[in-house]
Chain A
Amino acid sequence: MERVLGDKKAIALMVLPALIIFIVIIFVPIIWTFVYSLFSGMPGFKFEFVGFSNYIDMWSNKQTVEAIKMNWKYIFFVTPGQVGFGLLVSLMMYFSIKKYRTLSRTIVFIPTILPTVAVAQMFAKMYEMVPNYGLINALLDLVGLDKYIQPFLGQPNTAFGALVVMDIWTAIGFYTVIIYGALVDIPHEILEAARIDGASGVKLFTKIVFPMIRTIMITCLVFSFTGTIKLYESATALTKGGPGFATTSMTMNMYQNAFLFDQYGYASAVAILILIQCLLVTFIINKISREKY
């Protein structure tokens, strides 16, 4: 048994190709990025060692600071939005419908599978005002709410809102299906027993249901967070970061600095900052989730 399951050659054969690719494409570049972040300019062109000054300059760079703020504001709305709506819809599905559950799950999941750029183009058309009314403005026009007709993507606040709505819309289905899976796994006897004890509604949820799906909720939060902190695709495709810098995320700021302003060193520092935030928050979420219970 040990001999077969501990076959070194087999293990090497099975793990090494994956490990090598993984290390070469992901781990080496991370170290590389860190080294770059200690330099200014770009390789081959005014590339100078500057120590940690990029990390200090960052806080006085208006665009970067704006991008950090914007990105966190985005996480603050989108992560709870995605997971919260996912929870809500899965609860409704679980408790209020008996028939067509599979069908509804199938439909709910569809937006998740659509290409981001296509979704963004679709929403851009929906939000449009000039030269033709897009879907939303046309509907507002139809029901007589003319005063709300506006260029949604042309104003910083509404553009941000438009992005948030789109990204929540896309992901609800994903979380609904996962959370629903956890709900189905709750043993029926437990729910029945609780009902007999007189628990219902909110109480049933907080005392019985939620503790049972806690682990999966945390997984969902981590998932959603790692997705939202690297915001790039959807914002690029919907607003290109505008108007102004209102929807420019940290990754977009990094991209601009690297590929538009030729500041590879500085951009690398921004990239490392993103990584640190990512690891830190995941660590905190895990820590909290373990401690409390």
Chain B
Amino acid sequence: MKLLIGQILPYITVTLFTLGILYRLGRWAGARIVHNITLSPWLQTSGQVALRVGSEAFLFRNLFRFDKALWAGALLMHFALLNILVGHIVGFSFLGKQFALIPGLGITPELSKKMSDLLGSVFGIVLFVALLYLLYRRFAKDTVKFVTKPSDNLWLIYLLVLVGMGDIMRLVPDFHIEYVLVRDYIAALILFQPVVHMELLNSVFFLAHLLLVQILLIVFPFSKLMHFFGMFAERYIVNRVYHDTAPGLPNIEVATARKAGLGVPAGDAAGEGGVSCAGV
């Protein structure tokens, strides 16, 4: 079992994850953007497009504008998730000493390790709580309940269990796992030099956490979690640069027309004047 989950499955997972994502993105790319369905008001430059897509992707602009509670919950969840993903990579690679590597701050390796632990704990808890809120919302708010499918709730519960296991290893000293064990394990996997009896894989929590992550990655390309890519693909269609056709009518001389008194039955000359552009 340890061998299967810890040493064999990871290779299958990475393969399926990669192929699955390519399959799904390929399915999207196969269909074309036929008509121009850009949303107005128009964005005038690529910079504005980048700003719009960026503020939607990283600050959840629309959620902020139309549903503050969802914005808070979703932003906290995704922000904590991002930090935890980065934290896993950086923390294990540098054994928690990453902050000491930033020049000029004078952080000692010991302090860095403490910071790493603290950040991990905080984001772990924030992520768990935010996920709980999102799940609560699916049951508490009628409109959301109406659109929820069983899989939507299952994903939240799945993530809660997955994050919960991580939090237990993070917060309960008895189940704590040393960074170095994980680093050596990952390094062995990457270098295709598996060690058969790794101490790390004796931890039930670690094994379960690892298994859940791998199942998640395998299912990821076929699930709603693909909205990470979907969001950018959709925004690429609806947020584009657009320039209006220039106004201006051919062969028009308003002043001449008014002097000639066009439309005025008696044929009097028209007066001068006009209304300024009031602006908005």
Asked if A and B bind, the verdict is no
Q: Which residues of B contact A (CB under 8 A)?
A: none
Which residues does A use to contact B, with CB under 8 Å?
Answer: none
